[in-house]
Amino acid sequence: MYFDLETWKRVAGLIASEPFRLRRTLFLWGVFVGLTVLSIFNMTCLALDSLFFPALRKQKIEAPIFIVGNGRSGTTHIHRILSADEGRFSFFKTWELLLPSVLAHRVVGGLDTMDQKFLGGWIRRRLQQGEDEALEDIRKLHDWQSTGSEEDDFVMFANWSSVSLTFPFPYIDLEYLFWTDREPEAKRQRILGFYSDMLRRLLYCRDGDRIHCSKSPQFTLKMRGLLEQFPDARFVVMLRHPYETIPSLLDLMSQYWRGMGASENLVEASANLLGEIQIAQYRYAVEVVDELPADQSVIVDFRDLVADPKKVVEEIYSRFGIGMTSDFDRFLEDEREAAKTFRSQHEYDPEGQGPTRERVARELSDLFERFGWVP
């Protein structure tokens, strides 16, 4: 079991170095302590898994699919559609990312069964009501659901190697969390080996043979490491015009950071760093795809997904040799109709924070030409 003690200590030091502001300080230390307690609980449960569930070692992970790309490029949308093919794919639900052990799965499942049997689902309904009220505004920007599919990177909160630690702790000193593929081989294998163990547990808890379908823009700079861990891995790379993705993502994250009480200097520095990462992700994803056989990767243009999601999914299934059921085919027909009226609720300044349009067009000029992006 790998725990990133270096990152844990670094985050504590960075929090301590911030100027004292009561509300901000309480928030940071509250999140830090909360994640630490959650890690201790999870690492204990993960260790017990080996004792209570010895068959876990035999669980296979075959040809997983990783949906990667830049934030705001449609990764959530395509993952939601594929996740509807439930008999074929496995995916992490939000609560499973926070409680990844088999033991936790069994306990939560048992409590839910008791709630349904003796209370008619009263506890579940109350929890859902509280969740809906707490997340009403946030869901206008991102559809958070405790039982919905979410980003696999969140499971790495358990051992403090998650890129998403930069969400509550937006420090530029944590840039290395993005670049797992740049880490020394031994550390890279420990990080992705931990992820593989979490994935094995999820599949162990699922009925039947499933293909794991992951969605995580944060995994884009892990693509080569993922191939080391899963040589038969397949990638769906979402691409959208960078003039749309980069300012949208930076605006969204800046809203979150300001809501958490971060100073304007910290917000600006973190947004600038994230903008640099976004440029790098565009190039990195395409470079890795160009090195892979055709049956291991597919690039999806966001414009095509919005115009005809059924056609896009059919192309993915064809490329990866996956058969389609009649039920899922009908679901895709409904998605095709819904796509005609889709409108994003996120409004942002298209020339806001981050790298200028001129710089983006210059550094990604070959991609602009290749994918028909108008500067």
pLDDT reported for residue 207: 81
Are 282 and 367 spatial neighbours (Cβ–Cβ below 8 Å)?
Answer: yes
Are 282 and 359 spatial neighbours (Cβ–Cβ below 8 Å)?
Answer: no
Contacting residues for 88 by C-beta, under 8 A, at least 6 apart: 210, 211, 322, 325, 328
Contacting residues for 181 by C-beta, under 8 A, at least 6 apart: 188, 221, 222, 223, 224, 225
pLDDT in tens, 328-367: 999 999 999 988 776 665 566 666 678 999 999 999 999 9
pLDDT at 209 over 70: yes
- The reported pTM is 0.94
The span from the first CA to the last CA of the chain, in angstroms, equals: 47
Phi, psi of 78 (to 5 degrees): -70, -35
A 10 A CB-CB count for 140 gives 11
Contacting residues for 78 by C-beta, under 8 A, at least 6 apart: 67, 215, 236, 238, 300, 305, 309, 312, 313
pLDDT in tens, 102-161: 999 999 999 999 999 999 999 999 989 988 887 777 666 666 778 788 999 999 999 999
pLDDT > 70: percent of the chain: 95
The dihedral of CA 164, 97, 251, 26: what is its sign?
A: negative
Kindly provide the residue ranges of all beta strands, DSSP E only, lying in 18-84, ordered along the sequence: 65-69
Are 339 and 309 spatial neighbours (Cβ–Cβ below 8 Å)?
Answer: yes
Mean pLDDT rounded to a whole number for the chain: 94
At 301, is the secondary structure helix, strand, or coil? strand
Distances (CA, A) of 55 to 2, 317, 345, 370: 21, 31, 46, 48
pLDDT reported for residue 134: 76
- β-pairing, 211-215 with 234-239? unpaired
All structural domains of the chain, each given as residue ranges with its CATH number in brackets, are: 5-109+149-370 (3.40.50.300)
Helix (H) or strand (E) holding 340: none
A 10 A CB-CB count for 161 gives 25
pLDDT reported for residue 145: 77
pLDDT at 204 over 70: yes
pLDDT reported for residue 349: 66
Phi, psi of 301 (to 5 degrees): -80, 130
pLDDT reported for residue 346: 54
pLDDT in tens, 74-97: 999 999 999 999 889 999 999 999
**Which of 27-31, 32-36, 191-195, 345-349 is predicted least confidently?**
345-349
Distances (CA, A) of 63 to 60, 87, 269, 341: 10, 16, 38, 34
Shortest CA distance to 194 belongs to which of 46, 45, 89, 63? 46
